[in-house]
Structure 1
Amino acid sequence: MVVLSFQAINFHTAGSSIAAAQRNYYQNSSSSVGIGGGGVRCGIAEESGVPAPMGQKTKYKDGIFEKAFMTLFARKMEKFARGGGEDVGKKKGWLDYDYEAFVEVSKRVMQGRTRLQQQQVVREVLISMLPPGAPAQFRKLFPPTRWAAEFNAALTVPFFHWLVGPSEVVEIEVNGVKQRSGVLIKKCRYLENSGCVGMCVNMCKIPTQDFFTNEFGLPLTMTPNFEDMSCEMAYGQVPVRFEDDPASKQPCLPVFCPVANPNSSLCPKLQP
């Protein structure tokens, strides 16, 4: 999830612009990154301007930039998908991918792979989208400070609405300190369209947490709520071990997952 915003950074000028960005962020974050009141609608086609209620799939109207991002990720992942290969992604143009096609590629990546292997694929995809030396540059620009956590939270809202839907910056507590480094995803588009707990955990939550924490040096914890499909991202908060994470013990969502096993106490995709 992080890569698209990170690629937008010009390393030659970033050092001189960070201070200005910081001032602008603190001045405008409260009004520019929320939903409503001038906030980001995130391409939602619902008349209400907010995600559809549980049990209904939210309607989106994706533009050229959203479809370009979907294609970028899908083409990278296609190389690892069952039935895919080096030339599969070239069969579609930049505007031929939609969100359903992107999710379908994710499903094919999961086929025949263990939980850890799925997570490793996502890590390789994220690494492949970064310029050489990017993690080291990120660590210099964004050391694990309160400001870095709050700045990245603010970037997440406008840059990743195409992937997860509308979100807003919220105040959270990290190590006893209250800070605006949380991002509340109203109803995750990825989980809503896949209906799969395993895809949420293995293809998004765990690899994104690990990528920020281990590659970029900025801790991140993602806490999905499988009852309403919301999710809270907490920048600056060190994630717990997988075995201690409540998400690792989550059963299937039988109403939404077509291959769910209602009799199982654990989603099969979460097993080793």
Structure 2
Amino acid sequence: MKLFCIGSSSRGNGYVLQSSNGGALLIECGMPLVEVKKVLGWKLSSIAGCVVSHRHKDHSKYLPEYLKFGIHALALEDVFASFPKLNRTFCKSIEPMHGYKVGSFKVFALPVVHDVPCLGFVIEHDEMGKLLFVTDTMMLEYRVANLNHIMIEANYSDELLEDAISSGSTVSSTRERLLESHMELKTTEQILRTTDLTAVNEVVLLHLSGRHSNAEQFRALIAEAVGKPVYVANPGIEINVSKIPY
């Protein structure tokens, strides 16, 4: 199983899980479909579906385009309702704390805390094991057992945010917005420290702020905390997320 990152920022988010037999699951549709096509060798027929965390356009902007090409989308009703006159032929409304089958993937929806209704996902596949995907949330209420892979937001650090506010490059109201909607680095670390990482192969850090983060600093700090390989979800990165990574 391969994980491809197409985008992981406020400019657009999109990820592809591709199994060795070619079946693929898309996570988020905040990037143009052409970028997905490039990853999949222009074979859209391999896509089992797409799961979308919430309605903000950096995660959902290209939903109508994906649907136009017959890609099945699973999301909260709030996501579909945010697009007027959306053709819902390939739309499936999902709910928190429910599980769904998407091709050979199993997806369980977790409620998370953002400034709009939002979901995290526990994704399972025989080839991959169990993957946790959590982005755009100030916290994670649940701890998931028996994980093999973790994709988790590390949006900003308090120190870098305060420095930016003090220098005038960031308005002070940003602090309150971030506190209620995105995951601070120490929160990411605390979640990982209180999760059983015994079977976890790697951690992937998502949605780093362009102004209030430092990718290498964040990666090194989390790697030291968890004792596992840690990656930053930069566009173009490809990661082996097979259950047995060799």
TM-score by length of 2: 0.29
More helix by share: 1
TM-score by length of 1: 0.27
More strand by share: 2
Larger radius of gyration: 1
